[in-house]
């Protein structure tokens, strides 16, 4: 019967399933590895299945565990959503922690102004941004399983349980060192492709974001440095002769500090949209509605144009 199961055992099982490691699950749950192992042993006895088989340094779930986790994850998410209704949310007194999923770019352009904006009106609220680039979960899973309250993305999330709305659009520019040995205050098409470049890599966008935003056939760029961090690309461009293309909002924030000059791209390229995504179960979450309003105000401020 359901009353025979300890909910704590299921939360431990859920964490081990997601992380594939007893020690990682222990760190996440604030428990010792021994306590996690003991909880798994109790659950094994209750369900009559080993649940996990050790494979190398990790754990391989049994077929029973895989089938069981589908239902456990859904049930735990429903419980969490039910406990987070925030019917009386007041930003001035709330001590809520919000977790935003998204790439590091949003950590640079959203978090600093957001924290500054809410420091006086919501002094006890904490906001953290987590990149899920290295995780095996899709953004829809991250939201459905309550790993994040909100997701910011350059691509919409197509899932029946996820609400997705476009809140902004970013123009792209090229930046390079002010003391570049060959380039001055203008940049031609020929000069752009004659120079060496940096490139943004992303598991969510494939190899290059650049190639996904242009419709015309362009000469191949000579890419000499790649990174998943846009700020790393800009910092590298500032001390080399490499070119870096970046959203104008980020260029405006960092170009002067890094000694970079900003130029329009010498060809047509689409702007990058920003989508805000959340689970339908949190549609009436007053705390999340408040957070969305704060972020949208930041992203819609100072339209990006050259």
Tell me the pLDDT of the chain averaged across its residues.
86
Going by pLDDT thresholds of 50, 70 and 90, the confidence category of residue 135 is low
Gap between the Cα atoms of 261 and 266, Å rounded = 15
Contact 198, 204 (CB under 8 A): no
**C-alpha distances out from residue 258 to 38, 179, 236, Å:** 52, 12, 9
Gap between the Cα atoms of 16 and 24, Å rounded = 8
Lowest model confidence (mean pLDDT) among 79-83, 87-91, 122-126: 79-83
Q: What is the pLDDT of residue 141?
A: 79
Whether residue 142 has pLDDT greater than 70: yes
Mean pLDDT of 218-237: 93
Residue 291's H or E segment, with its range, is helix 286-300
Whether residue 31 has pLDDT greater than 80: yes
144-162 pLDDT per residue, tens: 777 889 999 888 888 888 9
**Which residue ranges make up each domain of the chain?**
2-83, 97-150+279-300, 172-270
Going by pLDDT thresholds of 50, 70 and 90, the confidence category of residue 306 is very low
Gap between the Cα atoms of 201 and 209, Å rounded = 7
Lowest model confidence (mean pLDDT) among 83-87, 130-134, 152-156, 259-263: 83-87
Q: Which CATH class is domain 172-270?
A: alpha beta
Query: Coil, helix or strand for 195?
Result: coil
Gap between the Cα atoms of 294 and 61, Å rounded = 41
Instruction: Give backbone dihedrals phi and psi of 17, rounded to 5 degrees, phi first.
Output: -60, -45
Q: What is the pLDDT of residue 305?
A: 38
Q: What is the pLDDT of residue 86?
A: 55
| DSSP-assigned letter for residue 211 | G
93-126 pLDDT per residue, tens: 999 999 999 888 888 899 999 999 999 999 999 9
Q: What is the pLDDT of residue 138?
A: 78
The domain made up of 2-83 has a fold known as: Arc Repressor Mutant, subunit A (1.10.10)
Question: What's the whole-model pTM score?
Answer: 0.70
Q: What is the pLDDT of residue 63?
A: 93
Mean pLDDT of 65-72: 87
Q: Which two structure tokens, joined as six digits, stand for 253? A: 């924030």
Going by pLDDT thresholds of 50, 70 and 90, the confidence category of residue 88 is confident
Q: What is the pLDDT of residue 75?
A: 78
Which of 171, 197, 153, 166 lies closest to 270 in space, CA to CA? 171
Mean pLDDT of 32-49: 91
Q: Which two structure tokens, joined as six digits, stand for 185? A: 């205050």
186-227 pLDDT per residue, tens: 999 999 999 999 998 865 554 456 677 888 889 999 999 999
């Amino acid at each position: 019967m359901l009353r025979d199961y300890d909910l704590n055992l299921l939360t431990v099982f859920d964490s081990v399933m997601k992380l594939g490691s007893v020690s990682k699950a222990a760190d996440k749950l604030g428990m010792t590895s021994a306590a996690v192992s003991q909880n798994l042993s109790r659950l094994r006895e209750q369900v009559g299945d080993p649940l996990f088989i050790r494979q190398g340094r990790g754990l391989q779930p049994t077929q029973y565990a895989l089938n069981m986790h589908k239902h456990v994850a859904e049930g735990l998410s429903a419980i969490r959503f039910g406990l987070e209704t925030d019917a009386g949310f007041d930003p001035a007194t709330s001590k809520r922690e919000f977790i935003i999923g998204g790439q590091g770019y949003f950590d640079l352009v959203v978090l600093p102004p957001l924290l500054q904006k809410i420091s006086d009106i919501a002094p006890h609220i904490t906001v953290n941004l987590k990149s899920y680039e290295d995780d095996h979960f899709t953004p829809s899973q991250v939201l459905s399983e309550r790993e994040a309250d909100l997701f910011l993305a350059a691509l919409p999330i197509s899932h029946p349980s996820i609400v997705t709305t476009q809140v902004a659009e970013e123009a792209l520019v090229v930046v390079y060192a002010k003391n570049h040995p060959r380039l001055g205050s203008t940049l031609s098409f020929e000069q752009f492709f004659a120079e060496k470049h940096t490139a943004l890599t992303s598991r969510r966008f494939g190899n290059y974001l650049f190639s996904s935003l242009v419709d015309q056939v362009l000469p191949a760029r000579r890419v000499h440095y790649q990174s998943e961090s846009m700020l790393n690309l800009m910092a590298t461009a500032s001390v080399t002769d490499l070119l870096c293309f970046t959203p104008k909002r980020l260029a405006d924030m960092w170009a002067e500090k890094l000694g970079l000059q900003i130029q329009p791209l010498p060809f047509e390229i689409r702007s990058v949209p920003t989508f805000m995504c959340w689970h339908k179960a949190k549609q009436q979450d007053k705390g999340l509605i408040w957070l969305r309003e704060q972020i949208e105000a930041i992203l819609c401020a100072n339209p990006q144009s050259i």
